A and B are shown apart, each in its own frame.
Chain A
Amino acid sequence: MKPPAFKYYAPSSVEEALALLAEHGYDAKILAGGQSLIPTMNFRLAQPGVLVDLNRVSELAFIRPADDGGLLIGAMTRHVQVETSDLVAQRLPLLHETMPFIAHPQIRNRGTYGGSISHADPAAELPAITVTHRGKIHLRSTRGSRWVDADDFFVGLFTTALEPDEMVVEIALPPLPPRTGWAFDEFSRRHGDFALVGVAAAVTLDPAGAVEDARLVFMGVGDRPMKGDTAVALLRGQVPSADLIEEAATRAAQEDIDPFGDVHASAAFRRHLAAVLAKRVLTRAVERANR
């Protein structure tokens, strides 16, 4: 479990990092928190010729208030910083509630927001939360800069809209609208494992108590964060009764996801869990919206 030889660069600015990516392209990998890349290299499943280590690029570690009431989070912000940030707790309670589910404290001390979404593990929390928040991702290269909607960023298994010479520099997460309740839950074999299934929900009610808007995003049951649009369509315009929530959750688990089977859970069991968890988070989100 030793990686083959590679070249190592430790730039101290975004400009320097981008220049290295432009020079090495496909042969380069960005090292952020290293929580996925290093094991993959030790298993020799990834054999990059060049590592560009962002750990000295301090300008990428920040959490800043945005004008829309949400937050801008730098790509090299550690999970622990998000987890313990008062700004996050006040402005993005769904993200705040989700952070402790991410792996273990040791991993949260190293892992970064930008690393997690760039790696794009479909069972990871932050891609799903970014989609739920309808976040935008800021990408840069020596060629320029662009913002990509979270929906368009995650394109497949461990695959994103990033070009080989691009990197994520920040993530913009808008706040949830007023009268919105939220919830996150997941089921993993052991605390800290990748979840078999996880679900995030946000439900916005109109003054009469009917669903104005809803978001339901699943993780671990497809090649990317999976949106429960069938459930959302069922809920919209309705007063969410327990029966309706159950129906919405069940329909989403049948129609909106594409789970795979592995040694821990068959596809059928993942579908079952998706329905149970979707019911639980929708129920909690509605309760909170009514508060």
Chain B
Amino acid sequence: MAGRYFGQPIRRNEDPVLLTGQALFTDDVQLPGMVHVAFLRSDYAHARIRSIDVSRALDRPGVIGVYTAEDLGDYWQPGPLLVPPPPVEGIIFHQRTQVPLAKGKVRHVGEPVVMVVAESRYIAEDALDDIFVDYEPLEAVVDVEKALEPDAPLVHEDLGTNLAARVVQRKGDYEAARAKADVIIQRRFYYDHGLAAAMENRGIVAHWDKKMQYLTVWDTTQAPVVIRNGLAKMLGLSESQVRVIAPFIGGAFGPKIMMFYPEEVLIPWLSMKLNRPVKWIEDRRENFVATTQERYQVHYAEIALTKEGRILGVKDRFYHDTGAYDPYGLTVPINSQCTLLGPYDIPNYHSEMNVVFTNKTIVTPYRGAGRQHGVFVMERLLDLAAKELGIDRTEIRRRNFIPPDKFPYNNEIIYQDFAPLVYDSGNYEPALDLAMKLIDYEKFIKEEQPRLRAEGKHVGLGIVAYVEGTGIGPYEGARVQVESTGKVNVATGVGTQGQSHFTSFAQIVAEQLDVDVRNIRIVTGDTAEFHWGTGTFASRGAVVAGNAIHAAAKKVREKVLQKASEEFGVPVEELELRGGYVHTKDGRSISLADLAVKANPLRGAVKPGTEPGLEATMYFGPERGVTANGVHAMIVEVDPELMDVKIKKYVVVHDCGKVINPLVVEGQIHGGVAQGIGNSFYEEIVYNEDGQMLTASFMDYLIPTAMEIPPIEVGHVETPSPWNELGTKGTGEAGAIPTAAAFVQAVEDALADYGIEILEAPLSPNRLFEILKEAQAKKGT
């Protein structure tokens, strides 16, 4: 239903305020009497706390209070389990969630131990130096496989194991399939995904107004409604006494959906205790260790195939590092487990997930949320199989694609939303064909690459496919109202962190009401405006909130036409809504503004059962998620002396169903690819054996800049989802998911004459140096 607004490349409503520096971010909130918090965080990955002496800090002028876990009394509670374990038979799951301030023991570097509040952030940080914590260092749990050995130190002693969870999921009978296979390929894979490093760190301002008995909280959260409800409960308030505002946020990418961070529990509590506004803004050094991140998995995977390259089955056993606590349940490893299957028709699958506690920062979803790991394993297995069988790498993928007539396609395992993993729709070959055309696959393989190789250049191509489960439930809602000003007001509960909601949501409404998108005001992330919803995550805004807004806008359209019908005495079918007016065939018209006034009369009788205004609130709760897909391809050139890799060309073909705004989709893809390239060759969190992060600054954690990101060409394929009226699928994570798989394939291809096999990501010049050295050593023996 591409229309006048829906599907059009409309420029963003939010840009004027953002680009002129007039948007409100959390740190812009300045209130009279506001005080500032700094946290003393653990320098140890694992240590017992013998004692804490805060007396010198309390004596420092300007310090208002100093708090340890003991000072919190009954308010000190482990955080909630956000996502319960999925209903899979035989599952093992141990819940251990984070605490507001460490008590007795610290379990990762960066865990908060003491909270200081002072007249300024400077004084608060000075006071941190005054505090003495007597630690007894303990051996740190760092490696996921060693962590499960019998003599390993324990992150949570009471558990008696570092195993946080084990889930086995099966489809078909892998062993029977294996017995019939012509080829079996087995490898160990290592995939490490880094941290989000959003431009804006986390921050919270809480203001308890004692006379109003009202708590206002500005929070860089992706889920303001859930934060409000949780805070009300923790603080003994009514939900109607708490307003949570998630203002403009400088990027989130997942870690800001984590709840409740210790700071989110403590800052509002402190504001009520002191009866003053309290601000805490995370600094970059804190962000590296205190904001959740993603990390590595080790996979022992095998694939069984016929000699024609048809997949008979896949078996995988993997180890996932969840960090010191597991408040987000199993979302990340389940995504790995499910997304591994990709766009392929895999009749038999056996996957064992082992989730391991370590003395590191908590792992929760970051853009891709475990999908990268699964895609990497599957795509590398197919590359190896293609090589082994002498089949072109695009051909082996094509032969195994789920054909378009097999949808909905049931993978028979449970997804992160606890529903069976069923793909709604897909048409994979056209995406592959378009990507091959855009990257000029045949010409590169047959002409370019041989010619450049003859010149001594090391060029290679990578091309991979993926699917992305998006748009999961439970639900979102929206209220759409035509005001008497003629402007349209839309409120929804999801927060916004740069997704262009102010534009794409407006386009959905404009399509129904035929109002200029600039006259549609979108409110997101303010519980005073809309207090139902779950949040912005899992590429679900356009699908779940989008369809709720669509439903509400349709309802308002009906009301508009109904009201006009009453005014003109003309049946609804004979009216036309155009350009902000309702027109009759005989040339009469009335503006939406006037209709809104008439729908909200100040005097006179109305019919019983009448609702005032031109307003509707609707919800959309999908039974299950919808599946986007795509193909990424790139050409790289490797300098095998400097071990440097330059990406010469990058192509993404993407199918997210119906596109609301192609500019927005391409922006999402570009940003995702940039993060994917970071994850391929630049970004890597390095911990030493003591659990210390060695890369906790931007000097050492390398975010790619515009200099490292090549131009990205995007092609669209549109396979509408049959499971929602707009036909949309999510697109938030697509750019980031298969990048490293394509990159590694391309680098391996470029270095074909070295005979190397790369089974890990990210790479780096140093790591390539080692891999080539190992290969040379092997050749030599």
Could you list which residues of chain A lie within 8 angstroms of chain B, going by C-beta atoms?
1-5, 43-44, 187, 189-194, 196, 263-266, 268-269, 272-273, 276-277
The answer to whether residues A273 and B707 also contact, given A2-B125, A264-B766 and a CB cut-off of 8 A, is no
- Please indicate the chain A residues that have their CB under 8 angstroms from the CB of B694 in the complex: 263
The 3 closest A-B pairs by CB, nearest first: A191-B707, A1-B283, A276-B641
Cross-chain pairs A/B with CB under 8 angstroms, 17 sampled: A1-B283, A1-B284, A1-B285, A2-B121, A4-B125, A5-B122, A44-B129, A187-B765, A190-B682, A191-B705, A194-B699, A263-B686, A263-B700, A264-B700, A265-B765, A269-B765, A269-B770
A266:B766 contact, CB within 8 angstroms: yes
With a cutoff of 8 Å between Cβ atoms, the chain B residues found around residue A191 in the complex are: 705, 707-708
Instruction: Other than A1-B284, A2-B125, give 8 A-B pairs with Cβ distance below 8 A.
Output: A5-B122, A44-B129, A189-B764, A190-B702, A190-B704, A191-B705, A273-B642, A277-B642
Q: Which residues of B contact A (CB under 8 A)?
A: 121-122, 125-126, 129, 283-285, 641-644, 682, 684, 686, 694-695, 699-700, 702, 704-705, 707-708, 764-766, 769-770
Number of A-B contacts (CB under 8 A): 61
Q: What residues on A are CB-neighbors of B684 within 8 Å? A: 263
Q: Are A187 and B644 in contact (CB under 8 A)?
A: yes
Residue of A nearest to B284 (CB): A1
Question: Which residue of chain A has the shortest Cβ distance to B706 in the bound complex?
Answer: A191
* Known interface pairs A1-B283, A273-B642; A190-B765 also in contact (CB < 8 Å): no
Q: Which residues of B contact A2 (CB under 8 A)?
A: 121-122, 125
Q: How long is the Cα–Cα vector from A266 to B707 in the complex, in angstroms?
A: 25
CA distance A235 to B186 in the complex (A): 52
Q: Select from chain B the residue with minimum beta-carbon distance to A185.
A: B642
Within the complex, what minimum Cβ distance (angstroms) separates B316 from chain A? 30
Complex Cα gap A259–B80 (Å): 49
Kindly state the separation between the CA atoms of A252 and B486 in the bound complex, as whole angstroms: 77
Chain A residue at smallest Cβ distance from B122:
A2
With A192-B705, A263-B700, A264-B700 as contacts: A4 and B126 at CB distance below 8 Å: yes
Check if A272 sits within 8 Å of B769, measured CB to CB.
yes
Task: State whether A192 touches B707 (Cβ < 8 A).
Answer: yes
A109 vs B233: C-alpha distance when bound (angstroms): 52
A interface, over-half SS: loop
User: Contact: A190 with B125, CB < 8 Å?
Assistant: no
B708 to chain A: which residues have CB within 8 Å? 190-191
Among A5, A190, A263, A268, the most chain B Cβ lie within 10 Å of the Cβ of: A263
- Minimum CB–CB distance for B57 against chain A, Å: 14
Cβ–Cβ < 8 Å partners of A269 in chain B? 643, 765-766, 769-770
Task: Give Cα A191–Cα B644 distance, bound, in whole angstroms.
Answer: 12
Closest chain-B Cβ to A187's Cβ sits at a distance in Å of: 5
Question: Bound complex: CA of A189 vs CA of B684, how far in Å?
Answer: 12
Chain A nearest Cβ from B290, distance in angstroms = 13
Q: Which of B129, B285, B702 contacts A43 (CB 8 A)?
A: B285
Q: Chain B nearest CB: distance from A124 CB in Å? A: 13
A265, B121: Cβ atoms under 8 Å? no
Residues of chain B within 8 A (CB-CB) of A1 are: 125, 283-285
Residues of A within 8 A of B702 (CB): 189-190, 193
Which residues from B are CB-within-8-Å of A43? 285
Q: Give the Cβ gap from B199 to chain A, nearest Cβ, in Å.
A: 16
Inside 8 A of B766's CB, which chain A residues have their CB? 264-266, 269
A196 to B765, CA, bound (A): 10
Q: If A1-B283, A4-B126 touch, does A190 touch B642 (CB 8 Å cutoff)?
A: no
Chain B residue with minimal CB distance to A191? B707
Within the complex, the shortest CB–CB distance from A185 to chain B, in Å, comes to 10
Instruction: Give the Cβ gap from A8 to chain B, nearest Cβ, in Å.
Output: 14
Chain B, residue nearest A276 (CB):
B641
Residues of B within 8 A of A273 (CB): 642
Residues of A within 8 A of B125 (CB): 1-2, 4
Bound Cα distance from A265 to B699, whole angstroms: 14
Most A Cβ at <10 Å: residue of B121, B125, B684, B694: B125
Residues of A within 8 A of B695 (CB): 263
